[in-house]
Amino acid sequence: MKNTFLKTLLCTSATAATLAWSTHAAAQEEVTIGYQQIVGPYVSAIAMKKFDEPLKAAGYTVKWRQFSSAGDISSALASGGIPIGVLGSTGIAAAATRGVNMQLFWILDNIGHSEALVVRKESGISKPEDLKGKRIGVPFVSTSHFHLLVALSKVWKMNPRDVRILNMQPPQIVAAWQRGDIDAAYVWPPALTTLLKDGTVLTDSEEVGKASVPTFDGIVVDKDWAQKNPKFMQAYTKVLAQAYVDYKQNGAKWTGSSPEVKGITQMIGGESKDILEAMKMLVFPTAADMASNTWLGGGAASGAVKALTESAAFLKEQKQIDSVLADYSGFVNASWVEQAAKSK
């Protein structure tokens, strides 16, 4: 009887252990995160699998999905296809205005010189007026699109309708450029780097930003999803914060053979030397920087809210959106970077 009881007890225990393991395994929620062809510490951390273990410990596994445009990511966020994605400031302004329930919680980079209007050397374009009647490729509803329109209408006092603006994603721009189908393009690396091999810069987002508002790339999250998944958000932003600190401390030492640079190349394409050059054009704020009023902190007074408001106003002026919201502060959340800045 004792042996029978012991066997029963052991079987029961084994079954319970198996059930417990199965329950634990089932608790690993799969999350799809969208990113774009943008260089920086974020993509490097993805390639180096820095997120895998911390997120697994928090109960999540991640599928990384590359999108070719801001519009595609906005649609995926709106439909619930992804809870987190990368968007430029103009794409965020457009999506927020259209009612996508999301919040900007991380600044990937200050764009500056890394987005530019490049003209073909044989196009005959040497000054803004020469753009009339020319074909310009640009990804619509992107930060490049926003600054192209600003440059044409506000900086150069031209009618955007006097040029042929074509909606193209970066890979399409490169292909069209190589075929000679377009005369100019406003885009970011690695496509920008390719175009510069036989093109010249007419203006860039550092220059245009001084005449309007700076543009940036950021990470947004479905607001309700973030509230229901605080462990994910904490683990995710902690890895991001460390990646940005590591880059600030060691990025100057990166070379084309560095695993971080090779990882970015594997994720988005291009050549290592071009990736390095592209990163030099960007500014990567730390979590502490992002928590300040310059970026996400300060509510309605934050730099991000001001940029979204002005971007939305200009998009409406260009008939890209129907209206401008009275307040964009509800679409910016500094709490996650504040926590990440304090984490060790």
When mean pLDDT is compared across 127-131, 208-212, 235-239, 291-295, the lowest value belongs to 208-212
What pLDDT score does 344 carry? 61
Does the pLDDT at position 178 exceed 60? yes
> What pLDDT does residue 27 have?
63
**pLDDT at 29 > cutoff 60:** yes
Task: Out of 151-155, 180-184, 329-333, pick the least confident.
Answer: 151-155
Mean pLDDT over the full length of the chain: 89
pTM: 0.79
Average pLDDT over residues 293-303: 93
Whole-angstrom distance, CA of residue 260 vs CA of residue 255: 9
Predicted local distance difference test score (pLDDT) of residue 109 = 94
- In the prediction, which pLDDT does 340 show? 95
Q: Biggest alpha carbon distance in the chain?
A: 98
Residue pair 317/228 in contact by the 8 Å Cβ criterion? no
- b/e string for 36-64 if b means 16 or more Cβ within 10 A? bbbbbbbbbbbbbebbeebbeebebebee
d(CA 82, CA 84): 6
Q: Which of 166-170, 189-193, 229-233, 340-344 has the lowest mean pLDDT?
A: 340-344
Q: Which CATH number fits domain 116-211: 3.40.190.10, 3.40.309.10, 3.30.420.40, 3.30.465.10?
A: 3.40.190.10
Give the pLDDT of residue 11: 45
Consecutive H or E run containing 65: strand 60-66
For the record, the structure tokens of 134 come out as 């020319």
What's the CATH number of domain 29-110+215-342, 2.40.50.100, 3.40.190.10, 3.30.930.10, 2.60.120.10? Answer: 3.40.190.10
- pLDDT, tens digit, 9 for 90 and up, residues 61-95: 999 999 988 889 999 999 999 999 999 999 999 99
Query: Do the first three CATH levels of 29-110+215-342 and 116-211 match, i.e. the same topology?
Result: yes
Q: Tell me the C-alpha distance between 124 and 283, whole Å.
A: 33
Q: Per-domain residue ranges for the chain?
A: 29-110+215-342, 116-211
